[in-house]
Amino acid sequence: MAEALDPALPTQVDELAKLVLARACDGDLKLAAAESCTGGLLASLLTDIPGQSHAFERGFVTYTNEAKHEMLGVSMEILDNDGAVSERAARAMAEGALAHSRADVAVSITGFAEGGPGQPAGLVHFACARQGGATVHQELRYGDVGRAEVRIRALETALGMMRDQLAAALDADAA
């Protein structure tokens, strides 16, 4: 079995995905994801829930700098100067996913699932953007807990950010 699929997703991640989709459906809002180190796992999860997956508009798997630039419009200046795993790159990825989709809320995930020279294992940057609202950023350092564990924790963090942005969007619509 591929390491990314073992262990199976924890129940709380699955439940959070269901909550995010339910809130998006309730508000008639669309979601998008721009993923690097999670390699499309978030998009897969959000399209795997029957009856609510239609809230997911599209996903971008942008593992390379070229993909981030070509698919999301992340500037080469950001990628060259700050790096793909940085706050500026994460923000540009989330905002690029909004700009290149019909989504109301978009999240980005970019990080190092494994360590290497100048690449601290478990360092992940997230950003979540919404139409008409501010883009929020979060940096987490999960440590050297293994590739699969970093990716699963990243899913939970990204879903939490989407939940919060959906709540803000629904509150703004209600006001």
> What pLDDT digit, counting tens, does each position of 70-81 carry?
999 999 999 999
Question: What is the pLDDT of the chain when averaged over all its residues?
Answer: 94
Query: What's the mean pLDDT in 144-158?
Result: 96
Q: Tell me, what DSSP letter sits at residue 10?
A: P
pLDDT > 90 fraction of the chain, expressed in percent and rounded: 88
Q: Is the pLDDT of residue 65 over 50?
A: yes
Domain-embedded: residue 1: no
Residue 49 lies in a domain: yes
CATH number of the domain to which 153 belongs = 3.90.950.20
Specify the range with the lowest mean pLDDT, choosing from 5-19, 82-96, 100-114. 5-19
Range(s) of the domain holding residue 52: 6-174
Q: Is residue 109 part of a domain?
A: yes
Q: Is the pLDDT of residue 2 over 60?
A: no
Residue 167: inside a domain? yes
The percentage of residues in the chain with a pLDDT greater than 70, rounded to a whole number, is 95
Produce one character per residue of 120-146: b if its CB has 16 or more CB atoms within 10 Å, e if not.
Answer: ebbbbbbbbbbeeeebbbeeeebeeee
Domain tally, the chain: 1
Look at residue 7 in the predicted model and tell me its pLDDT. 56
Q: Which residues contact 29 (CB under 8 A, 6 or more apart)?
A: 23, 55, 104, 105, 166, 169, 170
pLDDT of 90 higher than 70: yes
Instruction: Give the pLDDT score at 9.
Output: 87
**Does 171 have pLDDT greater than 80?**
yes
Q: Is 38 a member of any domain?
A: yes
Q: Reduce the DSSP state of residue 41 to 3 states and report it.
A: helix
